Amino acid sequence: MDQARETNFYYASTPRPAPQPPLSGEQVFDVCIVGGGISGLSAALHLAERGMRVALLEAQHLGYGGSGRSGGQSIFGYACEMSTLEKGVGATDARRLWDVAVEGMRLQRELITRHSIDCDYTPGHMIVGLKRRHDESLRAELDTLATRYDYHSLRLIGREELRGIIASERYTSALYDSNGGHLHPYRYTLGLGRAAAAAGAKIFEDSWVTRLEVAQHPGADNLAHTAHGTVRARHLLIAGGALLGRLVPSLARKLIDIGTYVAATQPLGEERARALITNNAAAADMNWILDYFRRSSDHRLLFGGRVTYSGIDPFDSGRILRARMAKVFPQLTEARIEYAWGGYLDITLNRAPHFGRLGPNGYFVQGLSGHGMVISGMAGRLASEVIGGTAERFDVFARIPHRDFPGGTYFRRPMLVLAMLWFRLLDVL
């Protein structure tokens, strides 16, 4: 995956932050957090606000993972259907999971306001359908969420009205959420980092955790080792997302890392950009291999989509995304792609979040499955609750059943490629 700062629009449009020093020597804290994305930073902020001594270890730099690469779309709910969660934990707990997701949307806006994070937060999100089957699903979704989950910020938009909002012939309906929105994910992540540091958390960058010693009884400390140091802490939180690799094999078995890509056009000028999406909401379509897009504050179109399952980069993601973008917006065929970048998603088999314990004081949050802009903030808040002694909400997540990806180390990827060919076929039917 291309890691160069120059190819990622978010990195390029943010003043380069001062790097934080790497960990050196043995240092003692109350909590050690592995991972400097939104999940880890939200936990660091909430825990530091509770007066705990917090160390956060980030392998590269803050926002190096999905949090600094994302499409930036803040969407209600989870990557999986609510029916998956109902099946897994029952209706009462599913409702509590839903309430956490809605609280996450509020939390995101509160954090932005409270910590004055300049991240272009813009309200409005649309899930857009491409065929009659999708239109029916969107209507059913609206009904279910209103009647069973008391979620009332959704509105169905029909084809004619939608044509006046998205300048494309492609879409047949949309589910508009005034409670959703979009933002500059890297600036949001860095803003959380600043807030966590101001609250007293110690952030170490360039500090790749290569080995963990997870305490197996409540009075023992956890140890996290990097190339040049060790953090000793009573509590441990793993929030490494898709980039955690095989550091904790039992966690790796629950995930597959899927590559996904975003491109940014050249600045189109205010008038031309406005005409593409007149309500300035973000949009994501309903295909399995979905397209998602939104306007940036400097009047580009940010267009995401495509996935790779093979773990191998496509030769030129910008060119591929450009071709997809031209299908949605043929009027942009001539527009130059100025940035194209990718990142990895941490996908679970049922696409539900995977939270739990590794030891009596060792916790993990992962598996946000490409739907983490909102839930990651709550992952951090819930981790701070369980570490602070209140396990109730964290444990609702910990009860969601998860299975290992089938196929073991060698066959899981070829099996996934086959499965995704099937989903691609469903998209064209």
Ligand X SMILES: Cc1cc2nc3c(=O)[nH]c(=O)nc-3n(C[C@H](O)[C@H](O)[C@H](O)COP(=O)(O)OP(=O)(O)OC[C@H]3O[C@@H](n4cnc5c(N)ncnc54)[C@H](O)[C@@H]3O)c2cc1C
In the complex, the residues that contact ligand X under the rule CB under 6 A are 34-40, 57-60, 64-67, 69-73, 75, 208-209, 239-244, 247, 260, 262, 292, 304, 342-345, 368, 370-373, 376
Least distance to ligand X from the beta carbon of 62, Å?
7
CB distance 270 to 66 below 8 Å: no
Least distance to ligand X from the beta carbon of 104, Å?
10
Least distance to ligand X from the beta carbon of 366, Å?
7
Nearer to ligand X, 4 or 429 (CB): 4
Burial grade of 229 (CB within 10 A; 0-12, 13-18, 19 or more): middle
Least distance to ligand X from the beta carbon of 201, Å?
15
Angle at the Cα of 160 (from 158 to 163), degrees rounded to 5? 105
Q: Which residues pair with 224 in a beta bridge?
A: 212, 231
Least distance to ligand X from the beta carbon of 247, Å?
5
Write out the two tokens for 355: 């939270």
Least distance to ligand X from the beta carbon of 90, Å?
25
Strands 292-295 and 282-285: antiparallel
Nearest to 98 by CA among 396, 398, 402: 396
Least distance to ligand X from the beta carbon of 268, Å?
20
CB distance 233 to 221 below 8 Å: yes
Least distance to ligand X from the beta carbon of 132, Å?
26
Nearer to ligand X, 106 or 133 (CB): 106
Q: How far is CA 372 from the centre of its chain?
A: 3
Nearer to ligand X, 250 or 331 (CB): 250
How far apart CA 44 and CA 24 sit, in angstroms, is: 20
Nearer to ligand X, 139 or 420 (CB): 420
Q: Which DSSP string corresponds to 180-191?
A: EEE--HHHHHHH
Nearer to ligand X, 139 or 194 (CB): 194
Nearer to ligand X, 124 or 372 (CB): 372
Q: Which DSSP string corresponds to 319-368?
A: HHHHHHHHHH-GGGTTPPEEEEEEEEEEEETT---EEEEEETTEEEEE--
Strands 173-182 and 202-204: unpaired
**HEC sequence for 251-294:** HHCCEEEEEEEEEEECCCCHHHHHHHECCCCEEEECCCCCCEEE
Least distance to ligand X from the beta carbon of 242, Å?
6
CB distance 112 to 121 below 8 Å: yes
Q: How far is CA 15 from the centre of its chain?
A: 22
Nearer to ligand X, 129 or 305 (CB): 305
Least distance to ligand X from the beta carbon of 258, Å?
9
Nearer to ligand X, 100 or 262 (CB): 262
Q: Which residues pair with 256 in a beta bridge?
A: 347
Nearer to ligand X, 129 or 240 (CB): 240
Q: At what angle do helices 82-89 and 132-149 cross, to 10 degrees?
A: 50
Least distance to ligand X from the beta carbon of 243, Å?
4
Number of residue whose CB is nearest ligand X: 372
Nearer to ligand X, 65 or 124 (CB): 65
Q: How far is CA 147 from the centre of its chain?
A: 27
Say how many C-beta atoms besides its own lie within 10 A of residue 313's C-beta. 13
Strands 229-238 and 25-34: parallel
Nearer to ligand X, 103 or 139 (CB): 103
